[in-house]
Amino acid sequence: MTDSIPVLWSDGALLVVDKPAGLPTLPDGYNPQAPHLKRLLEPEYGRLWIVHRLDRSTSGVIVLARTVQAHRALNAQFQEHTVEKIYHAIVTGAPDWEETAIDLPLRADGDRRHRTVVDAQGGKPAVTHLRVLERFAGYSLVEAVPHTGRAHQVRAHLLAAGFPLVGDALYGGAPLWPARGRPGSAPGVEAGVPLLARPALHACSLAFRHPLSGEWRRFEAPYPPDLAAALAALRESRD
């Protein structure tokens, strides 16, 4: 089972992996017996401590602690917002800016759909820096750097900015379909099947100080096949 979870780094204190989309970090409250990241990794790597989470639908870099001491040290860095998290996202629309910062307080579980919502009175401070990396016809590839760690922060801030994530039905994003007249434009995509149906969000980089050495370390994960194929199709449509 762990063959599908690429390991980016492993030592006595840390385990850094590239989490595939569709796999929850922790047990699902509705189905506690379903596979999750911690359960799949512990038989091979021993007891692990969760430091932070990625949404089930989000792919990319996640770090787990292998000792109580490492867990404590990493938790402190996350709480002090000294960890650098970089996400890449495909969004619907064309921003009229190249870079911007979204500074809007967020409240988790803020509506009937259990979404994170902007709430000026009851929300917690949240800041996300956004930068356009690439533009397509009707879509954009955006870098998102959250400076706080609120639940669904990137998804909620992108919606508030008017550019929901492709494939993010919970936050108003529609699936990405093949270009009209070219249903087979991306390898492996059949007519009537979306290029990307899950939220187009990937945790591509995570940087922090190693809890033992204090050395600043950066870990990166390549785009997963579905995101890479979607970007290839968008570039082909643009060209």
For 86, list phi and psi in degrees, rounded to 5.
-125, 125
Q: CB-based burial of residue 164 (10 Å sphere; 0-12 exposed, 13-18 middle, 19+ buried)?
A: buried
Q: CB-based burial of residue 207 (10 Å sphere; 0-12 exposed, 13-18 middle, 19+ buried)?
A: middle
- Name the pTM for this structure: 0.91
Q: What is the largest CA-CA distance in the chain?
A: 57
Q: What is the DSSP string of 35-100?
A: --HHHHHHHHH---EE-S---TT-EEEEEEESSHHHHHHHHHHHHTT-SEEEEEEEEES--S-SEE
pLDDT tens digits for range 61-99: 999 999 999 999 999 999 999 999 999 999 999 999 999
- The residue ranges of every structural domain in the chain are 2-238
pLDDT tens digits for range 151-186: 999 999 999 999 999 999 999 999 998 865 444 444
Give the CATH superfamily of 2-238: Pseudouridine synthase (3.30.2350.10)
Which residues are marked as active site?
55
pLDDT tens digits for range 100-121: 999 999 999 889 999 999 999 9
AA letter at 88: H
